[in-house]
């Protein structure tokens, strides 16, 4: 288990570095978007290249930061229900979800994304819009993201197994992630509505 946990830490470190660096592309996408809008409004000039670049940058962030999101437990879940459950049960739910849903889904996506990318690459597929970007680099993102998600899923399975065996502290016991504030607000609103109905 010690060597598996070392592997898990290495995977976490890789996806953390990728996630932190890739997240800066959001700023670049905003700058390109703002510049494109200003130039279009003031000079009546536009470019499909810059328009498509925004889409590609968003895709890079969305896809390549997904393993980092999983690592930080910031993916979408029904926290109102999840946090009411016992820690051990939450651990088993995570384990079952990773083993039977996340991992098979990511493997199937990888399997289908390879020919999807290769077909585009062999054709040197270009944008349908004049002056747009080549399509095959964007299509390769799905393949890369699936590989990163698979290795992060393996890391999460290792950690959940270690938690269930009592080898490492349960991450669910340390409290919810930062996204939990939305669920707290939802609980408060629900309590207000229920209290209003009782009157």
pLDDT in tens, 33-56: 899 889 888 888 877 888 889 989
User: Which alpha helices (H) appear in 24-65, and where do they start and end?
Assistant: 25-43, 48-64
Tell me the C-alpha distance between 85 and 180, whole Å. Answer: 15
For residue 178, the model assigns a pLDDT of 47
Residue 184: the pLDDT is 59
The answer to whether 117 and 136 have CB atoms below 8 angstroms apart is yes
Per-residue pLDDT at 89 = 86
Q: Do 36 and 139 meet the contact criterion of CB atoms below 8 Å apart?
A: no
The C-alpha atoms of residue 145 and residue 21 are separated, in whole angstroms, by 15
Token readout for 23 is: 């997240």
Write down the pTM of the prediction: 0.79
Whole-number pLDDT of residue 46: 77
170 DSSP 8-state letter: -
| 103 neighbors 160 (Cβ within 8 angstroms) | no
Domain boundaries, the chain: 2-174
pLDDT of residue 148: 97
Low-confidence ranges of the chain (pLDDT < 50): 176, 178-179
As a whole number of angstroms, the distance between CA 77 and CA 129 comes to 38
Q: How far apart are CA 67 and CA 142, in angstroms?
A: 13
């Amino acid at each position: 288990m010690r060597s598996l946990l070392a592997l898990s830490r290495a995977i976490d470190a890789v996806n953390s570095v990728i996630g932190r660096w890739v997240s800066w592309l959001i700023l670049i996408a905003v700058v390109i978007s703002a510049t494109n809008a200003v130039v279009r409004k003031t000079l009546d000039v536009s470019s499909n290249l810059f328009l498509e670049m925004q889409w590609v940058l968003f895709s890079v962030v969305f896809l390549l930061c997904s393993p980092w999101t999983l690592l930080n437990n910031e993916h979408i879940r029904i926290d109102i229900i999840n946090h009411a459950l016992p820690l051990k049960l939450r651990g088993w739910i995570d384990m079952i979800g990773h083993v039977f849903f996340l991992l098979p889904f990511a493997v199937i996506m990888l399997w289908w994304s390879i020919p999807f990318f290769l077909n585009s690459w062999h054709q040197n597929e270009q944008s349908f819009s004049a002056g747009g970007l080549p399509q095959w680099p964007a299509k390769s993102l799905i393949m890369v993201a699936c590989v990163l998600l698979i290795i992060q899923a393996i890391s999460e399975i290792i950690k959940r197994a270690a938690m269930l065996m009592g080898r490492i502290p349960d991450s669910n016991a340390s409290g919810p992630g930062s996204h939990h504030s939305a669920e707290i607000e939802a609980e408060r609103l629900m309590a207000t509505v229920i209290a209003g109905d009782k009157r």
